[in-house]
Amino acid sequence: MEILVCVKRVPDTAENEFELNSAGNDLDRDDLVYSVNEWDNYAVEEAIQIVDDKGGSVTVITVGDDESEEVLRREMAMGADNGILLTDDAFEGSDGMGIAAILKAEIEKGSYDLILTGAQADEGAGQVGGMLAAMLDLPYASLVNKIEVVDDKTLKVGREIEGGNQEMNEISLPAVLSIQTGINEPRYVGIRGIRKVAKVEIPEKSASDLGLDAGSIGEAGAKTKRVDYFVPDLGDGAEMLEGSTEEIIEKLIEKLKANGGL
């Protein structure tokens, strides 16, 4: 099975203290530590497991700048066979629809049985997977937390639904799935794996390579505009728990017990 996984380089929530930029419309992105979007890491692990079992190959792809190559190499160190970097100044400022349009242009040049995205990334929009499926005119399942390969034309996919319930669906290939965290346990990537792929050539494609009109992508093509970005005021009833993680957990449990939550 030929599997493509869309991955995004995002600020690492465990490694950064976030502040707003001076314009107040985004995070201050200077000096942040970046890593691969957590959901995408699960998607890559799932793809590798399917290919280990059924054969085929895993390609990881990202839309980003030169530094985004590092997340492709990380996922190749994990076991993905190929990487593709879609990069061009014209891509800057793309909204979710722009990102999906850029990915679509490259995907149409290949031949993939299965395309995986994360359920969401750092912007939390959860829109790229669904838009991509619609643009490619392929079936789509979101929030997938289980995949069983029935045959080379069909998958059974589990979806997490409201209230912790679970549903199973059959989906015809080729298809697009957005992957939920917890579907597997992503393998550890050691320094040896990173070294092994350090010199592997990763093709880069620009807007003109993809036949994209600059006016339809990037800031010029964005039909959604972020107009504000802020931390909401605490409500009157909000209480911030202070202390170490252990102390906070203990205080939280006490409060839940005291209020009948446990």
Ligand X SMILES: Cc1cc2nc3c(=O)[nH]c(=O)nc-3n(C[C@H](O)[C@H](O)[C@H](O)COP(=O)(O)OP(=O)(O)OC[C@H]3O[C@@H](n4cnc5c(N)ncnc54)[C@H](O)[C@@H]3O)c2cc1C
Give the DSSP letter string of 70-137. HHHHHHHHHT-SEEEEE--GGGTT--HHHHHHHHHHHHTTS--SEEEEES--TT----HHHHHHHHHT
**6 versus 90: smaller Cβ distance to ligand X:** 6
- Minimum distance, C-beta of residue 210 to ligand X, in the bound complex (Å): 13
With 0-12 / 13-18 / 19 or more C-beta atoms within 10 angstroms meaning exposed / middle / buried, residue 70 is middle
Q: Which is nearer to ligand X, 194 or 222 (CB)?
A: 222
CB of 243 to ligand X, least distance (A): 32
Least separation in angstroms between CB 84 and ligand X: 10
Question: CB of 159 within 8 A of CB of 169?
Answer: yes
Q: Are 157 and 146 in contact (CB under 8 A)?
A: yes
Task: Give the whole-angstrom CA distance, residue 10 versus residue 248.
Answer: 27
**Distance set, CA 34 to CA 18, 37, 42, 44, 175 (Å):** 12, 9, 17, 18, 29
In the complex with ligand X, the residue whose CB is nearer, 99 or 157, is 99
Output 95 or 160, the one with its CB closest to ligand X.
95
Nearest-CB residue for ligand X: 118
Q: Least separation, in Å, of the C-beta of 151 and ligand X?
A: 26
Q: d(Cα 158, Cα 141) in Å, to the nearest integer?
A: 9
CB of 248 to ligand X, least distance (A): 28
Residue 85: how many other CB atoms lie within 10 Å: 19
Binding interface with ligand X (CB under 6 A): 6-8, 37, 39-40, 62-64, 92-96, 99, 117-118, 120-129, 222, 224-226
Rank residues 55 and 203 by Cβ distance to ligand X and give the closer one: 203
Q: Which is nearer to ligand X, 18 or 256 (CB)?
A: 18
Smallest separation (angstroms) from ligand X to the CB of 102: 8
